[in-house]
Structure formats: C-alpha cells, structure tokens
C-alpha cells in the first residue's frame, strides 16, 4: 500500500507539473494545436480573399464633392455588406502593436472565430459611417487578440477591403461585463471596436479597445481622404 501511494504521488506530481507547464505555454504564447488549425484556415481564406479582391468591381470614385464621395463610399460598403455571408473572408486587418496581419472573417460565432478575427454581423462594414465591431480569441486559435491590452493611444489599425483601405487610431479602452450589449450600439459615426475576453482564460468580462477613423483611400482613387474630412462631410 505504501508503495502504491508513493507511485500515485509521483504520478500526480508529474501530472501537476505538466498542467502547469501547459498553462504557462498558453499564457506566454498560445495553444499550439488550435493554432495550427487557424493557420491552415487563414491560408485557405487568404486564397479565397485574393480571388475575391481580383474579381471585385468597385465603383470608380468620382471627382465631385467630398460629400458625394462619402455617399459613394457608403453605398459601396453597404453593397458589400449585403453580398457577404457568415464565415466568408471579407478583408485584411493589420495591427502592428499586436503583430497582427490576418484575414478578417465575417461573423463572431464560435466556428467563425476559430478561423480568425471576425466582424459582428449586427454591426457595419468600414465606410458605412457606423460601428464596426471585431472580436478575436486571446488564448486559442492563434490567439490574435491575446495582447489587446498592450494597445496604446494613437496605435494604428488598418483594415483593407476590396473597395478601400481604412486606417484607424486607438483612442482608449474599457472593460465591460460579458452580457453588456450596449457596446454593439452604433452612434452614427465611424468607430471601430476591438473585443476580446477578459481576463485571459475567463469569459466573465470583455476588453474593448476603441479607435477612430483617421484616413480612407477608396480603391482606384489617387488621393487619401482624412477621417476628419469624412466626418465634416457627414455633418454638411
């Protein structure tokens, strides 16, 4: 009996050490097994998005007033939103501070977020002048938003769509309870929200990083339009 207890104790110590090592690995990096799945899905999505980008026929930007260009942009973004489906690749998101350069997916359900950062279907596309809400995992499936709390004011977030490129600047953050749906309410101006579970390994709260639009370049246009100019045109 004594020998049995000693062997059992050794096994438990070994198992505990393995669990601790695994937890430290995931905390410092990510779950490598689910990461392999997402890496493969991102590869396939990138091929699909490249084909979509090539085939997409964006409206040629006019040389008329800024207000007219803004209306064209909203029409293009709305048309794109209506044409895409859950799980589709819709663009590319780049966040240098977090080391992210990934395909953006349409949807935030469990299966979609396994593929990469996803846009909540209840919110809008870049260029519509409304809320764009993007969620991502923190510990599994490549953990794209694992270091969302490292974002600092004025950090850049670039979202490239088939119809244009949008650059946002981080303005701040807040933590809300997981069932707080007020974060999905649009305030009728272009705003980006990035969301991840908080704290890591738990889902009791959500970490929300906010960003404002600083520039837009419509596909086919030679000039970049500032976010401030877009906002001014919206009020005119």
Query: pLDDT by residue (tens digit) across 143-185?
Result: 999 999 999 999 999 999 999 999 999 999 999 999 999 999 9
The token duo for 54 is: 């090539």
Peptide bond before residue 49 is cis, with ω within 30 degrees of 0: no
Q: How confident is the model at residue 60 (pLDDT cuts 50, 70, 90)?
A: confident
Mean per-residue pLDDT for 101-107? 98
- Asked if residue 101 has pLDDT above 70, the reply is yes
Domain segments of the chain as ranges:
1-30, 32-235
Surface-to-core class of residue 56, CB atoms within 10 Å of its CB (0-12 exposed, 13-18 middle, 19+ buried): middle
Mean per-residue pLDDT for 95-122? 98
Domain covering 32-235 in this structure, CATH number? 2.40.260.10
Of residues 63 and 227, more confidence is placed in 227
Q: By the 8 A CB rule, do 144 and 157 touch? A: no
Query: pLDDT digit string (tens) for 13-40?
Result: 544 433 333 344 444 455 778 999 999 9
Surface-to-core class of residue 66, CB atoms within 10 Å of its CB (0-12 exposed, 13-18 middle, 19+ buried): middle
C-alpha distance across the termini of the chain, in Å: 85
User: How many CB atoms within 10 Å of residue 207?
Assistant: 20
- Asked if residue 186 has pLDDT above 60, the reply is yes
What ranges make up the beta strands (E) of 3-116?
Answer: 89-95, 100-106
Q: What is residue 14's predicted lDDT score, i.e. its pLDDT?
A: 47
- How far is residue 235 from each of residues 26, 48, 167, measured CA to CA in Å? 47, 38, 21
The β-bridge relationship of strands 191-198 and 131-135 is: parallel
Of 82, 220, 191, the residue nearest 126 (C-alpha)? 191
Mean per-residue pLDDT for 224-232? 84
């Amino acid at each position: 009996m004594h020998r049995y207890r000693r062997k059992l104790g050794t096994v438990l110590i070994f198992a505990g050490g393995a669990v601790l090592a695994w937890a430290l690995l995931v905390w410092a990096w990510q779950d490598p097994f689910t990461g392999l799945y997402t890496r493969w899905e991102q590869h396939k999505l990138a091929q699909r998005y490249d084909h979509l980008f090539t085939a997409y026929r964006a409206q040629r930007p006019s040389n008329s007033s800024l207000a007219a260009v803004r209306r064209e942009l909203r029409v293009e973004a709305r048309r794109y939103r209506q044409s895409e489906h859950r799980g589709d690749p819709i663009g590319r998101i780049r966040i240098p501070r977090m080391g992210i350069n990934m395909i953006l997916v349409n949807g935030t359900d469990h299966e979609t977020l396994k593929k990469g950062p996803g846009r909540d279907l209840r919110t809008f596309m870049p260029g519509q002048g409304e809320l764009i809400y993007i969620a991502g995992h923190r510990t599994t499936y490549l953990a794209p938003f694992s270091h969302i709390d490292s974002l600092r004011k004025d950090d850049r977030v670039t979202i490239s769509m088939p119809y244009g490129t949008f650059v946002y600047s981080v303005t701040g953050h807040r933590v809300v309870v997981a069932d707080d749906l007020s974060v999905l309410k649009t305030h009728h101006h272009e705003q980006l929200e990035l969301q991840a579970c908080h704290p890591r390994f738990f889902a009791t709260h959500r970490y929300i990083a906010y960003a404002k639009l600083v520039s837009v370049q419509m596909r086919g246009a030679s000039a970049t339009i500032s976010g401030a100019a877009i906002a001014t045109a919206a009020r005119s």
